[in-house]
Amino acid sequence: MAVSYFKVYVACQSMLIVLVGAVPEYHIDQEGIPTSRAELAKRIHFADNFTSIVTEWYLIEQEAYKVSLASSLFFAGLLIGNITFGPLSDKLGRKPVYISGSLTNLTFAVGIAVYALLGYCVREWRYLALVSNTPGVIFLLLSFMLPESPRWLYSQGKTAEAEDVLQYIAFGNGKERLNLKLQPSAGTLRKDELAPGILNLVKHPVLRWQTIILMYIWYVCSFVYYGLTLNAGELRGNLYLNVALSGLVEVPAFPLCMFFIEKSWSGRRKTMTCFLIFAGFACIFTMFLPTNAGLLLSPTLLALCGKMMVSAAFNIVYIYTSELYPTVLRNAGLGVCSMSCRFGGILAPFVPSMKSLSPSVPFVVFGISGLSAGFLTLLLPETLNKPIAESIEDLQSPKYQVLKNEEAEQTS
């Protein structure tokens, strides 16, 4: 539960720049061109009743890129954290680095709506940043109450501690004390039992192109998802309502994708392909709609539909990727894909600024990206009701291929 609430805090951090860096309507007195920031401060007039770093330091015109840069640096920090703290979680445990997996992506979507509500109530950007960041201290203190991963404890030879954590979890679920006794663990793995490293993703032809395709799909999911999320502040209409809707529209995406990926006639591959293609078309079709049209025919509605579709695809790609890799390479595969995902987040903040060329340009960029990733997904194998390989040898063995064919015949 604590980790679920933490996702709300993470959502507020990811969306911080949308309101803290919001650009209100403004006009500059047309009596020559301002030659200094002091002169610009006297002649510029902001229309809306909120403050932001834009109104504080006049980040408009040639200075507008600094807002996108601030958001991009946030995602660059996530990339650094992914590279740095990922390996630490295997050495120090999951609890010290405060990650043992996310409980649900729904709380992230709700967190976006919560942030919109905070922004509506707190119009001064410094106070908004303070309110949004304060829960981080609370979650840091609460993290000491979380138990360590019993699986990690067992893998490190700490059998007694793993038993205590399992008893704690059982008690929290309303169960009586378990008569539990784990087999002694040898602790750290022998050298010949260590999981193959990242190089094996490139070395073996059966995994090489699969990894490249998955890296691109993860990149596009992040690029389009965060691009549309950050672009919510650029849409016409009420700023806070647009931000809230960009989060709430994800709520139906989770049960929707969970329904389709378990059906034999759709599965993982077809479902993700359809969601990415639909997201791409939704973005591209915005260029054919007038900006002053009603709600049912507005670019805002199509952008929200695209956000829901790419959010569903983002949920699926975690499951799909973990099933495509053999057990010994699963962590390495997910790690590489997660890193490529961060690059999408780094580039995404700069795309909304391309509206200076044309209002539809950002959506066309997102649309083409979604379509390309959707069609590339068709090159990957289906994993629904298929045996999951334990090792690289399993992927190449005739027995594994026979099992895959038998599973395919049973589900067809």
Q: Which of 119-123, 133-137, 296-300, 382-386 has the highest mean pLDDT?
A: 119-123
CB 307 within 8 A of CB 228: yes
pTM to 2 decimal places: 0.78
Q: Cα(249)–Cα(39) distance, rounded to whole angstroms?
A: 43
Residue 122 is predicted with a pLDDT of 93
Higher local confidence (pLDDT), 232 or 191: 232
* pLDDT tens sequence across 34-91: 666 677 777 787 877 788 888 888 888 778 888 888 888 888 887 887 677 655 554 5
CB 26 within 8 A of CB 45: yes
Q: Cα(39)–Cα(47) distance, rounded to whole angstroms?
A: 18
Q: Cα(370)–Cα(305) distance, rounded to whole angstroms?
A: 13
Structure tokens that stand for 202 in this block:
């490139």
- pLDDT at 410 > cutoff 70: no
Residue 18 is predicted with a pLDDT of 87
Average pLDDT of the chain is 80
Which residues of the chain are in CATH 1.20.1250.20 domains? 195-412
DSSP letter at 204 equals S
Domain 195-412 has CATH 3.40.50.980: no
Q: Is 322 exposed, middle or buried (0-12, 13-18, 19+ CB in 10 A)?
A: middle
